[in-house]
Amino acid sequence: DAYFANAIDAVLFEQKFNASDVRQKGKLGDGSFGQVNLATDVATDRELVVKSARSVQGAAQLQIAEEYMNRRVRRAPLVAQGCAKYLGSFDVVEDAASPCLVWAFEGDVTLEELIVRRDYPECVEEAIYGRERDESDDYAKRTSAVAKSVLRGLLFTLGGLHDIGIVHRDVKPANLVLMGRRFKLVDFGAAADLRVGVNYDPEQSLLDPFYSPPENFIMPERIPAPPPLRPLAATFAPLVWAAFLPDLFDSFSAGLVFLQMCVPQLRGRKVMDPNGSFRSNLEDAGYDLRKWRKKVEPLGWDFSALDVGGGLGWDLACRLVCKRNFLQRGRLGCNTALLHPFFWTP
């Protein structure tokens, strides 16, 4: 049982930090429910990332849910490899409503910052291959290779998360932090564990509409609440999964991230604004990427990176960024997307 395992985990493997040893430094992020700071553990001189809950309604609850997700992830080694390394927690005051969560600090530049740089994709190439990949290749080929590598890692991590019943629901370039040679997923503040019902029925305001699929506003209401008894919930979850395929939420967001890596005109966070022209044009096209492309290509939009090698990247993008039909089919899940021929070549 996940709750039981979590409790054991907390006692045996988790580091309890000393609040007085953790010296908080600069701000890394500032959400509406939590604040993320860079910090040092003066006892060990280790660099840390610390997330503390704000004093707003519901923030403590979300912080506890995020702690739960991080413990859960840490017990799944292949998933944990693709996520920020969770270390443990501490309380600022005794009997605090929620703990401060602590991760190892392994790098602070996000994909969001990298894709808008003038030297993209070279800056990412250098990080993930340790050098520029092949200087003789043209822009389209290099962009395609970089995007493929990042997307492969992202889909692998998300697929693993879905296998253990967790949906992330906040996949976006700002939550992909470059750590060493790969991007790791951070921010489980909006994640849900559908097996045991943690964060199952969240506030709508929790979900970032910039990267959410069109069904976002229907899905949480349509999913019935899990039965109160945990053994019952465990048999209930697979049924919910089969009926609603909640993992398709993340695969849509991953598709948008992929598009942003490949199409220069889509880079930048504001582009994904639900009231902006991209999302409304997409909606007008019924979330049919091919239809949408016919509209913007004459305006000079650059799809060359997606057309590399016969357009396999484009085909995959179309299967990720699309509507799901009545039987919840039509959009690829993360694990299935990894089987797409786009990934058959490096």
Q: Are strands 192-193 and 15-16 parallel, antiparallel or unpaired?
A: unpaired
| 84, 186 Cβ separation under 8 angstroms | yes
| Gap between the Cα atoms of 239 and 221, Å rounded | 16
Pick from 2, 6, 14, 34 the residue near ligand ADP by CB under 6 A: 34
As measured in angstroms, the least distance from the Cβ of 4 to Mg ion is 29
Establish whether 170 is a catalytic residue: yes
DSSP state for residue 199 in the 8-state scheme: T
| 108: partner contacted, choices ligand ADP, Mg ion, none (Cβ within 5-8 A by kind) | ligand ADP
Closest CB to Mg ion: residue number: 187
Which window, 24-32, 250-258, 275-283, 301-309, contacts ligand ADP (CB under 6 A)?
24-32
Interacting residues with ligand ADP between 70 and 129 (CB under 6 A)? 84, 103, 105-108, 110
As measured in angstroms, the least distance from the Cβ of 151 to ligand ADP is 19
Direct distance between the N- and C-terminal alpha carbons of the chain, in angstroms, rounded to an integer: 39
| 150, 123 Cβ separation under 8 angstroms | no
| 202: partner contacted, choices Mg ion, ligand ADP, none (Cβ within 5-8 A by kind) | none
112 binding Mg ion? (CB under 5 A): no
Q: Which amino acid is at 143?
A: T
| 308, 125 Cβ separation under 8 angstroms | no
As measured in angstroms, the least distance from the Cβ of 324 to Mg ion is 25
311 binding ligand ADP? (CB under 6 A): no
**Chain center to CA of 102:** 19
DSSP state for residue 83 in the 8-state scheme: B
Which window, 91-99, 184-192, 240-248, 258-266, contacts Mg ion (CB under 5 A)?
184-192
| 34: partner contacted, choices Mg ion, ligand ADP, none (Cβ within 5-8 A by kind) | ligand ADP
Show the beta-strand stretches assigned E in 92-216: 100-104, 109-110, 166-167, 176-179, 182-185, 192-193
| 311: partner contacted, choices Mg ion, ligand ADP, none (Cβ within 5-8 A by kind) | none
**Residue 88 phi, psi (nearest 5):** 160, -155
Pick from 186, 245, 254, 263 the residue near ligand ADP by CB under 6 A: 186
| Gap between the Cα atoms of 307 and 326, Å rounded | 30
Q: Which residue has the tokens 């979590």?
A: 6
| 194: partner contacted, choices ligand ADP, Mg ion, none (Cβ within 5-8 A by kind) | none
Which window, 182-190, 226-234, 247-255, 310-318, contacts Mg ion (CB under 5 A)?
182-190
251 binding ligand ADP? (CB under 6 A): no
Q: Which amino acid is at 264?
A: P
Pick from 63, 110, 175, 212 the residue near Mg ion by CB under 5 A: 175
Which window, 73-81, 181-189, 230-238, 310-318, contacts ligand ADP (CB under 6 A)?
181-189
| 28: partner contacted, choices Mg ion, ligand ADP, none (Cβ within 5-8 A by kind) | ligand ADP
Long-range contact set of residues 223-231: C-beta below 8 Å, sequence gap at least 24 = 225/197, 225/200, 225/201, 226/194, 226/196, 226/197, 226/200, 230/1, 230/3, 230/196
245 binding ligand ADP? (CB under 6 A): no
If we measure between CA atoms, which residue out of 325, 305, 296, 344 comes closest to residue 140? 305
59 binding ligand ADP? (CB under 6 A): no
| Gap between the Cα atoms of 122 and 265, Å rounded | 18
Q: Judged by CB, which is closer to ligand ADP: 15, or 277? A: 15
List residues with catalytic annotation. Answer: 170
Interface residues toward ligand ADP, by CB under 6 A:
28-31, 34, 36, 49, 51, 84, 103, 105-108, 110, 174-175, 177, 186-187, 189
